[in-house]
Amino acid sequence: MDDSQNPIFVTKPFLPELSELMPYLEKIWAGHQLTNSGPFHQEFEKELARHLGVEHISVFVNGTLALLTALQALRIVGEVITTPFSFVATTHVLTWNRVRPIFADIDPETFNLDPEKIEAAITPETTAIMPVHVYGTPCNVQRISEIASKHNLRVIYDAAHAFDVKYNNQSIAAYGDLSVLSFHATKVFNTFEGGAIVSHNPEMKLRIDRLKNFGFVDEVTVLEAGINGKMNEFQAAVGLLQLQHMQEVIDRRKAVHEYYVQALSRAKGIRIPAALPNVERNYSYFPILVTEEYRLTRDGLYEHLRKHGIFARRYFYPLISDFSMYSHLPSSSPANLMVAHRVAEQVICLPLAPTLEKKDLDRICDLIV
Ligand code: T4K
């Protein structure tokens, strides 16, 4: 069958065979425990901690509620320094916590917050830094930690893209005061929707677990204004099953990544970000920069691909700082975010999914080269 016109999207979630899920569903149906820290929820937290090699993890219904709760757990107020080059949720959670976002520029190689720009943005109001490991590329965690210690700031990593990324043989989610993961359908590891906070001691995990359950301490005691962030049993069951397939998923993604690198290295004007040392990647996105030397503009290439059924995405254009609710902030000025603007104007994320086949990749690469 000729599928040369079939659409290819930026991603396609991995799903195990439906038959593999049935035993989990039968257990849920038999027990009638659908949510509120049921058996799958508890087992999933244990298995995740083991898989990632971290001590304490609290799972959530989605990554955004996990981020919102992480800020509450650390009682963040005042100003937080963050990146404009991310999905809009990264900044919205600050706004929902009535915290002022302060944007700082990014590094031209990693597209993550530039530590030197963080230091320059600190004021007496600054209480925390919220960097993002964008596309799963680790931030300069050492430098960020030094700056945070020197200025007595908290660090909350938005690690939404970084499931299973390792730095110096340790999960990247182990860094920072708290790290927040997303298990959304479009992520490397998905539970349809989902998220988690990695913390570093039992007291903090307990605090987070109470905050995600309305602040309940016991049946008759509520100590804080919590929220409903609980992951349900269906999501946890999917998560337990997906964990068993992670290696296969990453291996397939790696093969797609390597195919692109090899095929696109001969495309004049297309820049592929370099791999970093001491990093085990998860191959979550395949960003390219369309530079002035390429025969089309970035938007020209984006439209050309669309015309042929390839739905690549311009993550993360526009910058968060350019959305109307943030563009008035002094730190949103283009002069403050020159690198971020350049990257946002050149970037395209090509389709990357474990299901992509050689013929799909040839179709995509032939349109680009
Ligand atoms: N922090 C960062 C850095 C993030 O990137 C995100 C989420 C968050 C925080 C918040 O975490 P969550 O609360 O979401 O857990 C998508 C996702 O909705 C969003 O989760 C993600 N970042 C963001 C980068 O991408 P869209 O608007 O691009 O999604 P959408 O619906 O256009 O999907 C893209 C393509 O994926 C579709 O064209 C087809 C495919 N797809 C999508 C879905 C949802 C499927 O094949 N099946 C699906 O179920 O935002």
Do the Cβ atoms of 340 and 329 come closer than 8 Å? Answer: no
Tokens of 32: 């009638």
Closest CA to 111 of 333, 349, 369, 304: 349
Q: What is the pLDDT of residue 5?
A: 74
Q: Provide the strand spans (E) within 66-151.
A: 79-82, 100-103, 126-130
> Which atom from ligand 1 is nearest to the alpha carbon of 313?
28
How far does residue 186's CA lie from ligand 1's centre (Å)?
A: 5
As a 3-state breakdown, the chain gives helix, strand, coil percent values, each rounded to 5, of: 40, 20, 40
Contact 314, 348 (CB under 8 A): yes
Distance from Cα 185 to the centre of ligand 1, integer Å: 7
Distances 260 to 112, 298, 320, 333 between C-alpha atoms, Å? 22, 18, 28, 35
**H helices of 212-284, where?**
233-243, 246-264
| Mutation probe of ligand 1 site: the residue of 64, 67, 87, 282 with most atoms within 8 A of C-beta | 87
C-beta 42 within 6 A of ligand 1: no
The closest-lying atom of ligand 1 relative to the alpha carbon of residue 311 is 38
For residues 255 and 303, give the distance between their C-alpha atoms in angstroms, rounded to a whole number: 26
Is residue 190 within 6 Å of ligand 1 at its C-beta? no
Q: Is the pTM of this model over 0.95?
A: yes
pLDDT of residue 1: 46
How many Å separate Cα 309 from the centre of its chain? 26
Return averaged pLDDT per consecutive 10 residues of the chain, 369 residues in all.
79 98 98 98 98 98 98 98 98 98 98 97 98 98 98 98 98 98 98 98 98 98 97 98 98 98 96 96 98 98 98 98 98 98 98 97 97
Cβ atoms of 337 and 319 closer than 8 Å: yes
- Which two tokens mark 303? 């439209």
For residue 219, the tally of other CB atoms under 10 A from its CB is: 5
Tokens read off for 129: 């830094």
Domains of the chain by start residue, with CATH: 18-243 (3.40.640.10), 246-368 (3.90.1150.10)
Residue 266: what pLDDT?
87
